[in-house]
Amino acid sequence: MKYWIAFLLGINFCFAQTDSLNINAPWYRTNLQFQQNPAFTGDNGKFVVSNSTKFNLYETNFNDALSTNTSSFQTCFKNYGIGINYAYSNYSGVLSNQTLGLNQSYKIHIKKGHFLLFGFSVSINMAQLDFSKLTFFDQFVSSQGKIYQTQEPNPNPTVYYCNFKAGGIYKNQFGFISLNIQNLFEPIVAFYDQVGINKSSSLIRNYELLAGLKLYKINDVQFYANLKADINNISPYEFIGVQASYKSKFIGGIHYTSNNGLNMMLSYYHPKFRVFASYTKEYIFKNTELSNEGILSVGLTYQIKK
């Protein structure tokens, strides 16, 4: 019963913390990996109920931040992993997305310490729009500001769609490399274009490449190299950088991003209370000077070990 309460309230229970990614890419621990790449399903051990809460702040106030809350359950039987996840994203109360996904994976043991994992995910999604919070250009008049009601017709406030993901991972004791394909069949998500005749109404297919490599260790400080790339023709993004972990409690990292920015990450893990808090700030370079116009992201994960 308490696990269901935790699932609903957004608390993270974790019976096993054996994920090799926690060793090879500690920055990735802030996310629930299998929701990005279904090949990770069950790879964290048996019977894991978890939650992650994350806010993206763009120098606006806290209430306008994009917030994402995900709850999930996953487990494994021999080489098979299965999981369900529920995610809720809220864009300033105007747009929201809810996702209920079913994930499965299969692990192949190549040789000692070397693994290949494959996974597939199907999800039912609901996107909602609060039309009353939108203002359009036709509502404004010079010197008077917003005085009119918009003539824009009300769109369909709720859109349902199915989405699919597939992925694969190779990992060993030194690192991992993973590739997953999101929006496999490019579902149509449009509030106006319900017939889907417009290609721009689709979610574009995205290839996400992730890699982590364990570097050297000096006293209690372990260094890592990380790479992430989103490959698509609309919004590509890459970052590459290094991280250092002190006694697996304090993690700091710095990454160069393809949008000419610098991503800095700090996180803290409290082993007794299983609280994992992360802080990420992205600075964008402007004319060789660092600008403060990047995203600030904060996340919180809470874990209870049996």
Partner 1 sequence: MKKVVRLYFIFMILFSCGKENIEQSTLLNIYAPNAFHPGSKVPCANGDPSCNNMYKILVDKPGNLKSIAIQILDEKQNLVFKTENYNEGWNGNIMGNAGGTPCMQGQYYLVINYTDVANGSYQIKKDIYLLR
Q: Which residues bind partner 1 (CB under 8 A)?
A: 55, 57-62, 64-66, 91-92, 94-95, 129, 133-143, 145-146, 148, 150-152, 155, 189-193, 198-204, 230, 233-237, 257, 259, 261, 270, 273, 275, 277, 282, 284, 293-295, 298, 300, 302
Minimum distance from residue 272 beta carbon to partner 1 (Å): 9
Shortest distance (Å) from residue 134 CB to partner 1: 4
Of 147 and 218, nearer to partner 1 (C-beta) is: 147
User: Which pairs with CB-CB distance under 8 Å and at least 24 residues apart come from 261-267?
Assistant: 261/285, 261/294, 262/290, 263/239, 263/294, 265/27, 267/26, 267/27, 267/30
For Cα atoms 174, 176, 180, give the angle at the middle one, nearest 5 degrees.
Answer: 180
Which ranges of the chain does DSSP label H, i.e. alpha helix? 2-9, 21-24, 33-36
Q: Are 95 and 127 in contact (CB under 8 A)?
A: yes
**From CA 187, how far away is CA 199, in angstroms rounded?**
10
Q: Which is nearer to partner 1, 224 or 302 (CB)?
A: 302
In angstroms, what is the minimal distance from the CB of 49 to partner 1? 16
Cβ count within 10 A of residue 179:
18
Q: How far is the CB of 69 from partner 1 (least distance, A)?
A: 13
Cα separation of 71 and 302, whole Å? 12
CA distance 122 to 119: 11
- From 5, 25, 15, select the one nearest 74 (Cα to Cα): 15
State in angstroms the smallest separation of the CB of 225 from partner 1.
Answer: 21
Closer residue to partner 1 (CB): 105 or 257: 257
Q: Closer CB to partner 1, residue 71 or residue 104?
A: 71
The least CB distance from residue 97 to partner 1, in Å, is 10
Cβ 132 to partner 1 shortest distance, Å: 11
- DSSP bridge pairs for 172: none
Please say whether the beta carbons of 10 and 69 come within 8 A: yes
| Nearest residue (CB) to partner 1, 108 versus 134 | 134
Q: In this structure, what are the phi and psi dihedrals at residue 29, rounded to the nearest 5 degrees?
A: -65, -20
Smaller CB distance to partner 1: residue 74 or 257? 257
CB of residue 205 to partner 1, shortest distance in Å: 12
* CA atoms of 38 and 170, how far apart (whole Å): 13
- C-alpha distances in angstroms, 35 versus 93, 105, 119, 227, 293? 23, 12, 11, 18, 28
- The position carrying tokens 């609309």 is 234
Nearer to partner 1, 215 or 290 (CB): 290
What is the C-alpha separation between 275 and 61, in angstroms, rounded?
Answer: 25
Nearer to partner 1, 106 or 161 (CB): 161
